[in-house]
Amino acid sequence: MKRILVIGSCGQIGTELVLNLRDKYGTNNVYASDILENCPEKLYPGPYVKMDILEKEMVRSFIISEKISEVYLLAALLSAKAEERPEYAWKLNMDGLFTILDLAKEGYLRKIFWPSSIAVFGKTTPKFNTPQFTIMEPSTVYGISKQVGERWCEYYYAKYDVDVRSIRYPGLISYTSLPGGGTTDYAVDMFYQAKLGNDFTCFLSDDTALPMMYMDDAIRATLELMNAPKENIKIRSSYNLSGISFTPKDIFEEIQKYIPDFRITFMPDFRQKIADTWPSSIDDISARSDWGWKERYNLEMLVKKMLDNVDVSILSSVS
C-alpha cells in the first residue's frame, strides 16, 4: 500500500493534487503538509501536518516514522516572488530537494515527484517548439534553482538509482486555489477581474506568448508519469510538457466573447523581463513517446471551464 506525503500541499497545485491522490489511493493514505498552520477547507477531512521543509530533522523523522513511500515535493518560491527574496528562494528550492533525495538514497522512499518549470530555459534557448534537449541559460534565481535541481535529480538516479520523476510544468491555470507568485499568474487573475466586472491591468505585454496548461491536464500528466513503468522513464532530469500556447491578448479576447464589456490595459512590469526569457511554445515529443502524454484542453475549453467555476469569494481569504 502506498503512503504518500505532499509537501507544499496548500498551494495552487498541491490542493488539487492531494484531492486527486486521495480519490485514487484513499484519504488516509495521502498526507497533506505545508508550512501553514491550517490547510484549506477543501482538504478537510484528511491527514494534515504542519511542516517546514527546511526543518530537515522533523521532515526526516516524520517520513521514517509514518513509513511514507512516495513524496510529491511542491514547496518552492515561484519566479516573481523568488526575485524579491533570492537568497531565501535558493535555500528553499534547493535544501528541501536534497532532504528528500537523501531519504530516497537511504532507502526510506520508493518514489519522488519534484516539479521543474519552463523557467529552466533562457534567452539563448530556441523560443518556438523549444526542444527537450537544448541550450539552457536561465537568468532568474527560480530558473537557476530548477535547472540545478534537474541536474541533481538526474545524478541521484544515475548514481543511487533514486526513482525521481519530474515535469517542466508550463504556467498553470486553475480555480480551486490562487497562484502563488509567478510570472504566468496574470492569466488566472484575469478571470477573477472579469467575473468581478472590473477592468484588468495586465503586467505582461499583449503579445507575450507563453506555454500554459489547464490544471486538470497537469494533474493527469503528473499521475500518468508517476504510474508509468520505471523502464519507460528515460529522462531523469525533467520532461518538457506542452498544453496550450497563448498571449494575454488571446485569452482576453476569448473571455470577451462571454463578457463583452471586459476591458484590459497592458502595463508591463519586472515580470515582462522574466517572460521575455521563456519559451513561447514547447516540444514535448519525449513525454508523448515515453509515457503516452496527450493534452485535452485547448484555449476555448480552458476559458469556458474557468468562467463557469471561478468563485470570487476565494479572494477574501487572501485580502
Please report whether residue 59 would count as binding ligand NAD according to CB under 6 A.
Answer: no
Please report whether residue 36 would count as binding ligand NAD according to CB under 6 A.
Answer: yes
Nearer to ligand NAD, 29 or 96 (CB): 96
* Cell digits of residue 199: 477592468
Please report whether residue 237 would count as binding ligand NAD according to CB under 6 A.
Answer: no
Contact by Cβ (8 Å): 127, 291: no
Beta bridge partners of 30: 4
Contact by Cβ (8 Å): 122, 139: yes
Please report whether residue 43 would count as binding ligand NAD according to CB under 6 A.
Answer: no
Please report whether residue 8 would count as binding ligand AKB according to CB under 6 A.
Answer: no
Please report whether residue 183 would count as binding ligand AKB according to CB under 6 A.
Answer: yes
Separation of alpha carbons 296 and 60, rounded Å? 38
Find the binder of ligand AKB among 15, 93, 117, 177 (CB under 6 A): 117
Please report whether residue 19 would count as binding ligand AKB according to CB under 6 A.
Answer: no
Q: How many residues bind ligand NAD (CB under 6 A)?
A: 28
Find the binder of ligand NAD among 184, 193, 280, 281 (CB under 6 A): 184
Separation of alpha carbons 149 and 236, rounded Å? 11
Nearest to 69 by CA among 113, 15, 120, 133: 113
* Shortest Cβ 58–ligand AKB spacing (Å): 27
Nearer to ligand NAD, 140 or 257 (CB): 140
CB atoms within 10 A of CB 176: 15
Please report whether residue 184 would count as binding ligand AKB according to CB under 6 A.
Answer: yes
Whether 142 is catalytic is yes
Binding region for ligand AKB (CB under 6 A): 78-79, 117-119, 142, 171, 182-184
State the catalytic residues.
142
Binding region for ligand NAD (CB under 6 A): 7-8, 10-14, 34-36, 51-54, 74-76, 78, 92, 115, 117, 169, 171-172, 179-180, 182, 184
